[in-house]
Amino acid sequence: MGGRVKPGHDAEAEIRTVTELTHLTLAEARDGLKAKTFSATELTKAHIQAVEQARALNAYVRETPDQALAMAKASEERIAKGEARPLEGIPLGIKDLFCTEGVETTAGSNILKGFKPPYESTVTRNLWNDGAVMLGKLNMDEFAMGSSNETSAFKPVVSPWRREGSNVGAGTSGSIEGTHLVPGGSSGGSAAAVAAHLCLAATATDTGGSIRQPAAFTGTVGIKPTYGRVSRWGTVAFASSLDQAGPIARNVRDAAIMLRSMASPDAKDTTCVDMPVPDYEAAVGRGVKGLKIGIPKEYRVDGMSPEIETLWEQGTAWLRAAGAEIVEVSLPHTKYALPAYYIVAPAEASSNLARYDGVRYGLRENGKDIVELYEKTRAAGFGREVKRRIMIGTYVLSAGYYDAYYVRAQQIRTLIKRDFEEVYASGVDAILTPATPSAAFGIGEKGSGDPVEMYLNDIFTVTVNMAGLPGLAVPAGLDAQGLPLGLQLIGRAFDEETLFAAGQVIEDAAGRIALPQAWWKA
Ligand code: GLN
């Protein structure tokens, strides 16, 4: 671990120290702060510098260095008084879907430009109450709709990862398309920032895979908790019955530490459970001895790449070697999950997004009357993908189609939920699947002609949201081109602890996968 940042002008030593401080894990940083090896201000300044040097990645849409330094100073005062809190002095990035009081919150959309929430989301409030430091707001797909971060009104995030042998750097001319890779989405800024060491961990949200897929694409760890574990209050809504916030972090332990602080009962969100938050970190290292891990045969989808298949087998072998019993299980309604999700999610989105009318929030385009004001504002404010979802959602909810689509999709949702219930009733503790059907793809490579091509990314993740269960993505290896691949662990409702325990076994067995080269540095 890095030594104390020394005053003086030795530029090289300083750069090394910035790298050292930003390459700590959250747990290491916490211990270093406690041992006074470095101060919260030093740690924060190192991250501010890293963020400034990485603008080529477009991970942050808003940097808040002044706020970060003020928060770090407050942390130092509490540390000096012996009043350190669980995340004292830890610099974090915040997905732009979380309302932050007085700090512009746009959900990746033009329609929210200029919106400064008069309140703080429960998740971010919990983090600040635990002493964390905000570095800024992270880029994302518009209203969290997407799998590549390309639907953001603030331009795509560039993944810190590159295919082996590709020489595209920050200073290289030429188009971003086809050369740079996507970090995944919708929490692309969160995943890229964690992978590129631009924060120690980040908040993210997951409606159909938006925490797990970008985590898998960037070699980071992400967990979507059980529906109701984390409050949705103050988080911009996409599909309310599926949305759940969780962390993206550099390893399993850090994700456990983050989730403990993010989660809380909350009277302001009626779907949030009134259950104490376990000490998730205590579950890390518990192992999998005696646990029963299910391998669902329906996830062996047609055309699955041999690389993903090998990864999955490898993960199974690791868990078996650590003492778990492996059983084949069946989730027969899996194949209906994706089409059902793409009815339920847009239906809820079309209703949630009705509030952006140019009167209450953000952007306003004036018209000759109120109707024209609505039309002009929504036409100018929403991007293509969001408009597509609103149209699909409105269609499936309209009289005459409601029974044919929406009701059917809800019935399928019940069947998917029941599939999982039966597997868990048979004594299975967790389920292991691939996190994504492939490694990261290039910017502009997918979905421009046929949106379904992009939707297929969510094939392994949407079932988990439909059933309201917890799911963890953990890096498990690299593909032939040197890009990260992840595995997914799906747990019983409110049993995130087993996911952290099993995730740690995979992380240990996989060993530390290589880090992306810092080619983006300005
Ligand atoms: N990719 C999925 C979608 O576009 C899921 C997004 C999410 O989880 N927020 O809807």
For residue 299, how far is its CA from the centre of ligand 1 (angstroms)?
A: 19
10-24, 292-306, 463-477, 505-519: least confident range: 10-24
Query: Residue range 499-510: average pLDDT?
Result: 98
> What pLDDT is attached to residue 513?
75
Query: Residue range 277-305: average pLDDT?
Result: 95
Label residue 52 by pLDDT band (50, 70, 90): very high
Q: Pick the catalytic residue: 45, 95, 137, 446?
A: 95
For residue 388, how far is its CA from the centre of ligand 1 (angstroms)?
A: 13
User: Which atom belonging to ligand 1 lies closest to the Cα atom of 341?
Assistant: 10
Taking only the tens place, the pLDDT of each residue in 350-382 is 999 999 999 988 899 999 999 999 999 999 999
**Domain segments of the chain as ranges:** 11-164+174-335+415-515
- Quickly tell me which residue has 């972090």 as its tokens: 249
Give yes or no for residue 4 having a pLDDT over 90.
no
> What pLDDT is attached to residue 1?
40
Q: Does the active-site annotation cover 426?
A: no
- Quickly tell me which residue has 């309604």 as its tokens: 333
Taking only the tens place, the pLDDT of each residue in 406-456 is 999 999 999 999 999 999 999 999 999 999 999 999 999 998 888 888 898
Tell me which CATH code domain 11-164+174-335+415-515 carries. 3.90.1300.10
Please give the C-alpha separations between residue 180 and each of 142, 175, 452, 475, in angstroms, as whole numbers: 20, 9, 22, 21
- Count H helices and E strands in the chain, helices first: 17, 11
**Residue pair 139/61 in contact by the 8 Å Cβ criterion:** yes
Which of 187-207 are b and which e, b meaning 16 or more Cβ less than 10 Å from the residue's Cβ? bbbbbbbbbbbbbbbbbbbbb
For residue 489, how far is its CA from the centre of ligand 1 (angstroms)?
A: 18
Give the mutation target among 95, 141, 147, 386 for probing the ligand 1 site: most ligand atoms within 8 A of CB.
147
* Nearest C-alpha neighbor of 238 from the set 390, 436, 364, 111: 390
For residue 442, how far is its CA from the centre of ligand 1 (angstroms)?
A: 18
Report the percent of the chain where pLDDT is more than 90: 88
Please give the C-alpha separations between residue 522 and each of 24, 121, 161, 350, 487, in angstroms, as whole numbers: 21, 33, 16, 41, 33
For residue 286, how far is its CA from the centre of ligand 1 (angstroms)?
A: 32
Give yes or no for residue 393 having a pLDDT over 50.
yes
Q: Does the active-site annotation cover 95?
A: yes
Maximum Cα–Cα distance for the chain, whole Å? 73
Q: Does the active-site annotation cover 210?
A: yes
Q: Residue of the nearest CA to atom 4 in ligand 1?
A: 146
For residue 207, how far is its CA from the centre of ligand 1 (angstroms)?
A: 5
For residue 430, how far is its CA from the centre of ligand 1 (angstroms)?
A: 23
> What pLDDT is attached to residue 13?
67
- DSSP letter at 492 equals -
User: Which atom belonging to ligand 1 lies closest to the Cα atom of 144?
Assistant: 9
Give the mutation target among 149, 182, 186 for probing the ligand 1 site: most ligand atoms within 8 A of CB.
186
Q: Pick the catalytic residue: 159, 210, 350, 438?
A: 210
Contacts of 349 (CB under 8 A, 6+ apart): 143, 145, 238, 239, 386, 389, 390, 393
User: Which atom belonging to ligand 1 lies closest to the Cα atom of 145?
Assistant: 4
Mean per-residue pLDDT of the chain: 94
Taking only the tens place, the pLDDT of each residue in 99-122 is 999 999 999 999 999 999 999 999
Give yes or no for residue 239 having a pLDDT over 60.
yes
Give the mutation target among 139, 142, 145 for probing the ligand 1 site: most ligand atoms within 8 A of CB.
145
Give yes or no for residue 2 having a pLDDT over 50.
no
**Residue pair 329/423 in contact by the 8 Å Cβ criterion:** yes
**Residue pair 364/378 in contact by the 8 Å Cβ criterion:** no
* Ligand 1 site residues, Cβ closer than 6 angstroms: 144-147, 186, 206-210, 238, 345, 458
Q: Residue of the nearest CA to atom 10 in ligand 1?
A: 145
Q: Residue of the nearest CA to atom 5 in ligand 1?
A: 208
**Residue pair 135/93 in contact by the 8 Å Cβ criterion:** yes
Contacts of 145 (CB under 8 A, 6+ apart): 151, 186, 238, 349, 385, 386, 389
